[in-house]
Amino acid sequence: MKLGAIFPTPEIGNDPLAVRDWAQAAEDLGFDHIIAYDHVLGAVHEGRDPALMGPYTERDPFHEPFVLFGYLAGQTSRVELITGVLILTQRQTALVAKQAAEVDVLSSGRMLLGVGTGWNWVEYDALGVPYGDRGKRLDEQVDLLRQLWREPVVDFRGTYHRIDRAGILPQPTRCIPIWFGGFSEVALRRAARIGDGFLFGSTPKRMQTLHTSLRGHLEREGRKPAEFPCDAVVDFSQGPDEWREEFELWQGLGGTSLSLRAMDTAVEAVGHQRVGYEGLRSYIDALEQFRDTVR
């Protein structure tokens, strides 16, 4: 089973050397991919109607995934670069196709696009995109992304997009895999129908029921669950014994990769506890301890 490392984007800071050193350490330790979370804007939660239900606020920094991955493409040589997840529906589809293709070209085919619809409606408003129809828009976006990556010239007319005989260059040398993320049956059904994989944002124990449901959706779509990659997450604060249990459970369920979340920001929202990381070395040490335990 593959191992992933979640980039501690709210805590890593702005030193490009620290960002480089963390990513290179993950690669050197044998991790197979790096996952970066995404938010363009953080919003004040107080006094919102409807309420903002997600864990991140205006106090949490987020490095922009495509810019980050463009940088890491030149600082690493093997590790895959995964958005986990990019809030696709608040972005211009053709621009995302261009950005993802560029990262894939510069990384020699190491880009993987994890996408979702998100929860921060304030962010949608600020970017000038409707929040209410995001699910329907996502389906069309995935179709258009793949056309732009495959075809030199696209003539596309949909409900939300119009491209009049145009294309992107450079194109990726392959159709970049598109994974979905989320915690709902809608996300699972969409992934089974049009996805290339799924990012479960919590532990195998918590995601076991959803994973079983995903397998059912895949079978109904005539797809083989064993050929559909899935990633789950463990938190560093769970400790070695739980890491082993989660690893063995996920492997037994047919999960293909397990990723480590080592950061304190919003850790309570995922049901775990603060560790008190102190500096870059502590984040790298967490990666090493996890690797040594489960490998």
> Given a cut of 90, is residue 270 above it in pLDDT?
no
DSSP state at residue 73: H
Number of domains in the chain: 1
Domain assignment present for 122? no
Q: Range of 76's domain?
A: 2-80+98-110+178-294
> Given a cut of 90, is residue 241 above it in pLDDT?
yes
Domain assignment present for 65? yes
Domain assignment present for 118? no
Percent of the chain with pLDDT over 70: 100
Domain assignment present for 140? no
Domain assignment present for 150? no
Which CA distances in Å does 51 have to 128, 207, 210? Answer: 19, 25, 25
Domain assignment present for 161? no
* For residues 17-35, average pLDDT: 98
pLDDT at residue 122, as a whole number = 97
* For residues 50-63, average pLDDT: 96
Contact 118, 87 (CB under 8 A): yes
Structure tokens at 232: 């789950």
Domain assignment present for 11? yes
Domain assignment present for 125? no
* For residues 249-272, average pLDDT: 96
* For residues 198-205, average pLDDT: 97
Percent of the chain with pLDDT over 90: 99
Contact 256, 250 (CB under 8 A): no
Q: Give the tens place of pLDDT for each residue, 165-186.
A: 999 999 999 999 999 999 999 9
* For residues 155-162, average pLDDT: 98
The CATH number of residue 45's host domain is 3.20.20.30
| DSSP H helices in the chain | 16-28, 65-73, 93-106, 121-126, 134-150, 185-194, 204-220, 240-253, 280-294
> Given a cut of 90, is residue 240 above it in pLDDT?
yes
pTM of the model: 0.97
How much is the mean pLDDT over the chain?
97
